[in-house]
Structure 1
């Protein structure tokens, strides 16, 4: 089996090397870029399976790099940030990052996050009927593709997985914690509010009017459900 290729975009050499050495032991192939411009170049040239992206980079910030990558690729992105403010984390998610982790962090936790993101981007759990349609939306579960009125939508792995969970059980109400567990895995418990940002991103992509959603409905005080359409 080919090793999954991880690109680390991090300007602090000590941190980048520490992550690289740990991931090499975990049987990943690892590349490093020390700034945003080089990181963007390597992302385009090397086509990594996942990117670890520092928020604070010289020249081109992590948010700018994330924005540029999302214009052309849905490669999974985990953002590293030394900032504890919720707004910084949520801004990264709004730009299409799949997850964030705050410095200082455990290397074991980072590896767990990487594996969780790669699992859901690989779509391991598939229903027997791999193509299902509800309203104007069609999901090809085996092909990891969502269509609206026959046109393909560009969803991140996290967005695809969240939509898949809700889509399979229309009308069923999921709490934020249940969505984290079902769609993202146990490593994400304690990050319930990040679900709201992913849901907001999803609505912008699948709803005709995100402010008055037809598909992903809010159940106030509880969580979310998929409408009958």
Structure 2
């Protein structure tokens, strides 16, 4: 049975691309590979379901590539890299990555991560609620867009999901751990600090379009909650 999920692998190591492709094709994934980000930009509009992206590449690295495409592409992005520093992982996840796997990695683990993200995407696409609103903010779940005061917020995928999760649970205090588990997933290699960094970025972006309302409240020692004054 043909797997309809289409995956793009971007890595300057041709052998890694070939090995990943051969492995995933055994499970009927439709896999395309490129060895540099410039070539990836030429095919990125082919509606991939997931991207596997190396960081250290010549000409344009994976971080720069992710920054370029993230506002236009909503599919999960799994970074793969030999870079082990926590700062590198936080940067990759803060600019729109959904996961981070360090090299060398097992193909079984990679497949498990892919399946986890695709399951999460499937659940999101099958939600019965498509429009959420709060204050001057409207979320169009199907379009993966958030409008603030009539203008589209430029968000990473995780920032979008974080706002959606907070609004769905508005006026409820959510711990960083609960936010992390629901937005990044309990199987992610991200760090709790990524939640704090993402909320800081969200506040800055919302404030640029709406200076009248404060949406995300910090409840010290407990977490965060979405609340808008005079809104039930």
Matched with 1:86 is 86
User: Residue 8 in 1 paired to residue 4 in 2?
Assistant: no
Partners of 2:70 and 2:135 in 1: CA distance: 27
Matched with 2:173 is 173
Matched with 2:183 is 183
Per-residue deviation, residues 68-98 of structure 1 (Å, max 9, x unmatched): 2235434432211211112212222333222
Matched with 1:62 is 62
Unaligned runs of 5+ in 1: none
Partners of 1:65 and 1:102 in 2: CA distance: 18
Contact 1:74 1:155 in 2 (8 A): no
| 1:219 to 1:16, Cα distance in 2 relative to 1, 3 A | farther
Unaligned runs of 5+ in 2: none
Partners of 1:181 and 1:40 in 2: CA distance: 31
Aligned Cα root-mean-square deviation (Å)? 2.9
> Counterparts in 2 of 1:1-229, with a 5 A limit?
3-44=4-45, 46-70=46-70, 72-122=72-122, 123-124=124-125, 126=127, 129-188=129-188, 191-208=191-208, 214-229=214-229
The alpha-carbon deviation at position 136 of structure 1 amounts to 0.7
Partners of 1:124 and 1:75 in 2: CA distance: 11
The alpha-carbon deviation at position 207 of structure 1 amounts to 3.3
Contact 1:93 1:198 in 2 (8 A): no
Q: How many residues align?
A: 227
Partners of 2:129 and 2:53 in 1: CA distance: 36
